[in-house]
Structure 1
Amino acid sequence: MSYQFYRTSTLGTTLQETINEMTQEGLLSPDLVHTILKKFDKSISKALNKQVKARVTFKADKLLNYRHCDNVWTLLLKNVEFREGSNVVEIMDTVKIVACISQTD
């Protein structure tokens, strides 16, 4: 199972814009569009899992809200500090984290 989170990234939106143009020109069928997007979802997830080595930790002052539905956790945090090693990278007022079970096919 692949999640569609990365379709809203710059790469994902650019892919979708290109697919839309090609569909309007009659170059792609709806079935092929569906196949391309599914392959993108799997590929981006697999690439991030294997190629990203940086580790970031975070600490929040308060957990404002949490939800668990269909093996997807959604957390809303307040006053969050992100660190890479011992260096503070970013401090945010509020952060929304969506976490899913990772399964590569």
Structure 2
Amino acid sequence: MATFELYRRSTIGTCLTETLDELVSSGAVSPELAIQVLVQFDKGHLHTYRFCDNVWTFILTDATFKSEEISETLSKVKIVACDSKLLQPHQP
């Protein structure tokens, strides 16, 4: 089994793939962009991640952030993200 297949089948890889599928289906991102995200995910160095109380916490090492004008590499990045389903109003 290739390394990328192992990570894509992990909890975080599955969640990323499902989220990208939803974004492509809704037209928020193009299929090409979703593929680029997965390719970058395959290259990543995720140091630590956890999921608790519907909150994801990721710690990345040697992360590179790019835009059209600049590319910045940081030794350590912490990302905290919430489950978007929590933002939907509850039905009575």
Instruction: Give the TM-score band, short-chain normalised.
Output: 0.3 to 0.5
- Name the one with the larger strand percent: 1
Normalising by structure 2, report the TM-score.
Answer: 0.44
Normalising by structure 1, report the TM-score.
Answer: 0.39
Higher relative contact order (CA 8 A, sep 6+): 1
